[in-house]
Every structure is written in C-alpha cells, then in structure tokens.
Amino acid sequence: MPTTPASTIPAASTTIAMLLADSRLPAGAHVTSNALEAALRDGLAPSAVAEYLATRMRTVVPVEAGTALVARKVPLDAGGAPDPAKVEHLRVEWAARTPSRAQREVGSALGDGLRRLADVLWPGTVPPPMTRPWPRPIVLGLVAATAGLGAEDLVRLVAYDDAQTVAAALLKLEPDDPRGAAALVLEACALLEPRVAQLAALEDPTDIPCAGAPLTEGWAEAQSALPRRLFRA
C-alpha cells in the first residue's frame, strides 16, 4: 500500500499526540502490561492499581518523559539528522536510570517497533542504532522533534501511554467496568500535571530525573520469567 511520509503532511501537535497515543498504532505496544500481570500474581489487589499508577507517575514516568524531552533536543549532525553519538549517550543515561534488565529490554523492543513505523511516516528521523535498539522514550522524542509535537504534549503523552497500558491490561487480567479503567487513567495523569512544565523544559541528559522503584522493577523482572503469561512485560 503506498504511503506518503508524514513529514510532508502538516499536522497539529495535538493530532500527532493522539496518533502516537493510539493503541491501534502498529508499533507493538499491546505486548506489555507494565508488569501489572506479575504484580497481580504477586498479590497486588485490583483495587490497589490506582496506587500502582500513582507510584509509576512519581518514578518510572518522569524518567521516561525526561528522556523523551532530551531526545527532542538532540543536536543534529552535519547532514541535518540526529547525531547518533548524542543519541547513544542519551541511551546510556536512560539505561543508568532503568536498573531493571527486563524494563530495558522491553523499552528497546517497543522503541524498535516505533522506529520501524517512524521510518515510513517520518523518514530519516531516527538514526540506525549504534549498539542496540533505541528505547521507546528516545524514539518518541526524536519523532516529536520532526513531527512538531510540543514539549508539554510529549510529557503528557508519555504519562498517558504508561497509565493506559496498565488500565488496558487490567481489563484483560481482571475484567471489570471499563469506565472505571478510564477513570484510573485520568486520575493518574492528573498526578503528573504539576511536573509537566518542569519536565518539558529539560534539555541536558544529566537533568533527567532518577527515581528508584524497587518493587516495580522486581515485578518487571518477575514478569519476564513467568512460565505462562498473557503479556511479554
């Protein structure tokens, strides 16, 4: 099927955000529950998922959002493309703030899926990986720079994507009223709102937040080892 690069089609920042937040986007995001499956098996009550989301908004999400915002400002090389060496440096900074091997692996897998989509819609936006696939927040940031996605919209996109991933997985693992899951997403995203402007201003990799979440990281590791599971991560 013929395609027209999105870089040639003007689109509002909000439109780009909605496109990238759509779970139907062919980028493979449906494979993850953000470790909710392992958490529920470990005894997390469905009624405590709101607290789980709140914890992620204080820990995982600022790291991912900060990484995406810095990627959005990555310097260009002599050919006008994102400098691969700068992107690799950012990947190392992200990895240092993502101690769970399982989280790094799924982040890279999701990033590679989004990169393949970007290669069609925004050619030249994402440089070939130097050592391993770029993680999703880096690819999101690079796409944002090309597509014209605003800084604050990008922060909110990362928060929404994280919360919606958990909420969608919850409905598969513990079927209930989907309206309640939608409310969980809104409540979780509202918790990050006071930090949106601060995160949106990030440009230096050393300023990316670094917040540990040992229990979340443990569940991510457990998820990767589950013998029978619905989600990869």
Render pLDDT for 43-98 as a digit per residue (tens, 0 to 9). 999 999 999 999 999 999 999 999 999 999 998 877 778 999 999 999 999 999 99
Residue that wins the pLDDT comparison between 62 and 1: 62
Rg over CA atoms, the chain: 17
Range of the domain at 74: 31-223
Contact 224, 105 (CB under 8 A): yes
Q: Is there a domain that residue 21 lies in?
A: no
Q: Taking a C-beta distance cutoff of 8 angstroms, is the pair 41, 47 a contact?
A: no
Q: What sign results for the dihedral spanned by CA atoms 200, 204, 209, 214?
A: positive
Query: Is 231 a member of any domain?
Result: no
Look at residue 153 and tell me if it is in a domain. Answer: yes
Residue 12 covered by a domain:
no
Q: How far is CA 93 from the centre of its chain?
A: 15
140 within a domain of the structure (yes/no)? yes
pLDDT at residue 5 in the model:
63
Number of structural domains in the chain: 1
Q: Does 205 fall in a domain?
A: yes
What is this structure's pTM? 0.92
Letter string b/e over residues 57-66, b meaning 16 or more CB atoms within 10 A of that residue's CB: bebbbbbbbb
Return d(Cα 139, Cα 145) in angstroms, integer. 10
Q: Is residue 228 part of a domain?
A: no
Checking if the pLDDT of 29 tops 90, the result is: no
> What pLDDT does 91 receive?
96
pLDDT higher for 13 or 102?
A: 102
pLDDT at residue 230, as a whole number = 62
Residue 2 in this model has a pLDDT that exceeds 60: no
Distance between CA atoms of 140 and 125, rounded to whole angstroms?
10
- Which residue from 106, 132, 113, 142 is spatially nearest to 7, judged by alpha carbons? 142
> Any residues with CB less than 8 A from the CB of 161 and at least 6 apart, and which?
20, 21, 29
Non-local CB neighbours of 105 within 8 Å, separated by 6+ positions: 224, 233
Question: pLDDT for 97-114, tens place per residue?
Answer: 999 999 999 999 999 999
